Amino acid sequence: MSGGAAGAGRTRSGTGRAGRPIDDLLIEGGSVVSVLTGETFAADVAVRGDRISAVVPPGTHREARERIDARGLLVVPGFVDAHMHVESSFLAPAGFAALTLPRGTTTVLADPHEIVNVCGADGLRWMVDEGRRTAQTMLFGVPSCVPALPGFEVAGAELVRADVEALLDLPGVVGLGEVMDYRAVVSGDARVAEVVAAAREHGAIIDGHCPGLTGAELSDYLAMGIDSDHTKNPVPVVVEKARLGMHVQLQEKSLSRELFAALRALPLPPPISLVTDDVAPDAIVARGHLDHLARRAVGLGMPPLEALRAITFTPAQRLRLHDRGSVTPGRRADLVLLRDLAGFEVDAVLAGGRVVAREGALVAGVGDRPQGASAVSDGTSFRDTVRIPPPDVGTFRWRSGGPDESRRELAIRVNAVDTSTRPAFIDVEVRDGEIRLPEGAALLTVIHRHGAAPGQAFAPIVGLDLAEGAVATTYAHDSHNLLVLGTSRESMAAAARAVVGARGGIAVARGGAVVALLPLPVAGLMSEDPPEQVAAAARAVRAALDDWGYRHANAFMSVSTLALPVSPSLKLTDRGLVDVERRAWAVAGEGA
């Protein structure tokens, strides 16, 4: 891509010949891809202010202050991510925007239920304020489940209907975040119904989260006004949800040839959005963001034009953003110049009519933070949220008050593909008041870290071939208590002490010593360090997990969701082991 100043025709008054206003920018020589008709046609695209002022045949005379030579490039709309979590990038909003804008993502709807579970409503206010200070359009949903499962875990905050109503009035807040406790919805739980009703009365978008929900229960869920789902589902359930009008959002783990074949077989194609949901910074650096997801979809059988539409027009419509999503005069000039469609290789990015990235890097000055502090906080008030003393080796002894014996114990079985778990039973030994696990099992514990009454629970983990070592993290959905998983008490203590000392983060230890650490001091979830530095630390932690034996398609999410009590089917919180489907303690006496 090349740019240059316009020559003749510029006037001080800002008007050209015949009084026509001068365009600020003319993208000439490229081809426009219409997400409305599927056509690709040669055209010049003019920009005035933050709007597209014209899409005209190539060579049409227009006076412009700056021209971009787009020969050999495709002009497409900016990419729109209709469901994601900024905190999952381990970056504060400024860092996330700096990493994803060069990949074409110009608009996101973020559900900040991670920081809100830790810091309450102030966490959302800070995210909104920080998001407005970036060149990316960051919109937000009010988290619907804080905590995710009341009574089964202790989070750092709680939102009730009055809180949701107040937060829905914030500028940039457009909806209610994913309603994860789908079992509460279909069972008629009053608390969840009140929160959803508040969003409906505000006319807000309501996002869903209902893996595997089908039949009459799916109808009950939809009838509440919750009309999207981004979770992994069997192909027939995806088709059923689309058939009933639920907006289907596909994240990477949901993509398959079988799914795209089933969608192609329908008489009419349903609206589909590709969404990233949770993507770590090292993955964005290595593969991309929505551009990567579109490439994956195309590789698995989604036609390139449909993939483009699924990251532009369709999600924009879902978010009621009728001012973007297509290359149309009068709409916002969020534009991406692609080298080719199937490969989604980004050459340049415009946001609000301004060139913000070229050849994979931000334009100088775009990433600079505006002057003045945040109206809410500079982030320092969120740097003291890990309110527990450094754990010692004794913290990781699973004690039992019973006699010495051999017995069967309920365990969590994980898999190497997704975040779902299954129950399993293992034989354990109780000796000297301590439960000792057999070879091949690891010990999982969740420790309350928000400063309320202390709580800690234990469970065995099976399904992975782990060597000696441990991982500790405060990025542990959704209450983000301290989660520690290990095969030796010494390494568990070392990893946990490193995380507490860093005021939050993720650490891997081997042989009682830390081998990788990702500090996340902002709410124990995010860093304000340069994105490349955070990505490098995340890459080191991922490699250490792999070396230890925790080999998973998305290791960060697999570890962190071991504590998510609304994700099937067996999870551990600071209060005990939860049977997610039954919404009950999996072991009698837990949660007391």
What CA–CA distance (Å, rounded) separates 424 from 406?
Answer: 17
What is the arithmetic mean of pLDDT over 98-121? 97
What CA–CA distance (Å, rounded) separates 519 from 538?
Answer: 9
What CA–CA distance (Å, rounded) separates 263 from 297?
Answer: 13
pLDDT over 70, % of the chain = 94
Residue 474 has pLDDT above 80, yes or no: yes
With beta carbons less than 8 A apart as the criterion, state whether 284 and 100 touch. yes
Residues 480-522: pLDDT tens digits?
Answer: 999 999 999 999 999 999 999 999 999 999 999 999 999 999 9
Q: What is the pLDDT of residue 381?
A: 72
Residue boundaries of the structural domains of the chain: 2-72, 77-321, 393-585
pLDDT over 90, % of the chain = 90
pTM for this predicted structure: 0.94
What is the arithmetic mean of pLDDT over 278-287? 97
Strand order in the sheet with 570-573: 570-573, 576-579, 584-585
What CA–CA distance (Å, rounded) separates 559 from 366?
Answer: 35
Whether omega for the bond prior to residue 326 falls within 30 degrees of 0, making it cis, is no
What CA–CA distance (Å, rounded) separates 341 from 306?
Answer: 11
CATH 3.30.420.40 fits domain 77-321: no
Both structure tokens of 323 = 């001012």
Q: Tell me, yes or no, if the two domains 2-72 and 77-321 fold the same way.
A: no
Among 2.50.20.10, 1.10.569.10, 3.90.25.10, 2.30.40.10, name the CATH number for the domain at 2-72: 2.30.40.10
Residues 146-191: pLDDT tens digits?
Answer: 999 999 999 999 999 999 999 999 999 999 999 999 999 999 999 9
What is the arithmetic mean of pLDDT over 96-113? 98
Residues 201-249: pLDDT tens digits?
Answer: 999 999 999 999 999 999 999 999 999 999 999 999 999 999 999 999 9
What CA–CA distance (Å, rounded) separates 562 from 581?
Answer: 15
Residue of 133, 130, 77 whose CA lies nearest to 290: 77
Q: What is the pLDDT of residue 14?
A: 46
How big is the chain, counted in residues? Answer: 592
Residue 465 has pLDDT above 60, yes or no: yes
Q: What is the pLDDT of residue 5?
A: 31
Arithmetic mean of pLDDT over the chain: 93
Residue 291 has pLDDT above 70, yes or no: yes
What CA–CA distance (Å, rounded) separates 50 from 341?
Answer: 25
Residue 588: exposed, middle, or buried by beta-carbon count in 10 A (0-12, 13-18, 19+)?
exposed
Q: What is the pLDDT of residue 10?
A: 27
Residues 388-428: pLDDT tens digits?
Answer: 999 999 999 999 988 999 999 999 999 999 899 999 999 99
Residue 11 has pLDDT above 60, yes or no: no
First to last CA, the chain: 64
What CA–CA distance (Å, rounded) separates 533 from 483?
Answer: 24
What CA–CA distance (Å, rounded) separates 106 from 102?
Answer: 9
With beta carbons less than 8 A apart as the criterion, state whether 159 and 125 touch. no
